[in-house]
Amino acid sequence: MANSLKCFNAIPQNLRNISTSSAKNDAWLSKIFVRKIEPTKESHSRMLSDKEVIYALQTHNYRADSKKNYLNNVNNIVGWVSSQDSLNKNVQLVGSWTVNVGDQDQAIHLWKFVGGFQQIDKFNELTDTNGDYQKLRQEEGKLIRARHLQYLLAFSYWPQIVLRQPKNVYEIRSYALKPGTMIEWGNNWARAINFRKNNDEAFAGFFSQIGRLYNVHHIWCYENLNKRKETRESAWRSPGWDECVAYTVPLIREMHCRVMVPTEFSPTQ
């Protein structure tokens, strides 16, 4: 024992500090290794979502000088959809926003299709042959620079979407995941979402089915930007939140966030 102590004391102090620091780093690094999951014959969409509801996320980059005309056009499209009895109210606008922080001159619209892809097929058949709708789409084409459409499923562990009043600010955090990691993402976030329920900030959580694949979108709702700051700081003080973050970070290839404000005609404010 005495010889062991002599050997330890013979180690220079700076090397002892490195050893201690390395041990601490190893403890942290051990958290961020990707957890292994068992192979499965079930698709991740079936395992992570239990609703026969498809969401369409439209992203439009409108011309900087055409915002007002563009929003009027979208409002007219929303009115046309709501007037179609043949859709049986199974196609609904959930939220419509313009981006304040992030991609400028951009709007995001979230549509809900009750009845899955069968309802989307029905919607496409109707709009492809309707002259009024086609005129609205042609007008839209003159007002935008680019557009993208994704079909999404809602994560089953997220709270149900509840429309908000009065006016709030929203944040959409979008993640491009490594292929094959969606189930693991869901396993970790099924726990992580529990740390973000106290302030009723969780608005919606989706993963892509068609469009850019292995994409995840989390939409959060806050009273204002300062409330966002306070709520996120509160989550980091919750034991276990840091571990959830550590396990999900290695699954991400790319991520970005945008702060959005609702349009006047958005059902959720």
In a domain, 167, yes or no: yes
More confident residue, 252 or 15: 252
Q: How confident is the model at residue 45 (pLDDT cuts 50, 70, 90)?
A: low
Scan for tokens 């109210």, then name that residue.
Answer: 89
In a domain, 96, yes or no: yes
In a domain, 249, yes or no: yes
In a domain, 79, yes or no: yes
> Distance between CA atoms of 35 and 4, rounded to whole angstroms?
38
Q: Is 109 left (phi over 0), alpha (psi -120 to 50) or beta?
A: beta
pLDDT score for 22: 42
In a domain, 27, yes or no: no
pLDDT score for 11: 43
In a domain, 26, yes or no: no
pTM over 0.85, yes/no: no
User: Domain total for the chain?
Assistant: 1
pLDDT score for 237: 83
In a domain, 82, yes or no: yes
Determine contact, residues 60/109, Cβ cutoff 8 Å.
yes
Query: pLDDT tens digit string along 86-103?
Result: 887 899 999 999 999 999
Phi, psi (5° rounding) for residue 121? -60, -40
Mean pLDDT confidence for 259-266:
98
Q: Which residues pair with 258 in a beta bridge?
A: 172
pLDDT score for 86: 87
* CB-CB neighbours of 112 under 10 Å: 18
Q: How confident is the model at residue 5 (pLDDT cuts 50, 70, 90)?
A: very low
> Distance between CA atoms of 205 and 182, rounded to whole angstroms?
13
Tell which residue, 169, 189, 197, has the closest CA to residue 95. Answer: 169
Mean pLDDT confidence for 167-175:
96
In a domain, 7, yes or no: no
Determine contact, residues 216/206, Cβ cutoff 8 Å.
yes
Range of weakest confidence among 47-56, 137-146, 184-193, 219-228? 47-56
Residue 212 belongs to domain spanning: 49-262
Sequence-distant (6+) residues with CB within 8 A of 89 are none
Query: pLDDT tens digit string along 203-249?
Result: 999 999 999 999 999 999 999 999 999 988 888 887 878 888 899 99
Sequence-distant (6+) residues with CB within 8 A of 74 are 96, 107, 109, 140, 263, 265
pLDDT score for 67: 97
Which amino acid is located at 16 in the chain? R
For position 127, which CATH number holds? Answer: 3.30.70.100
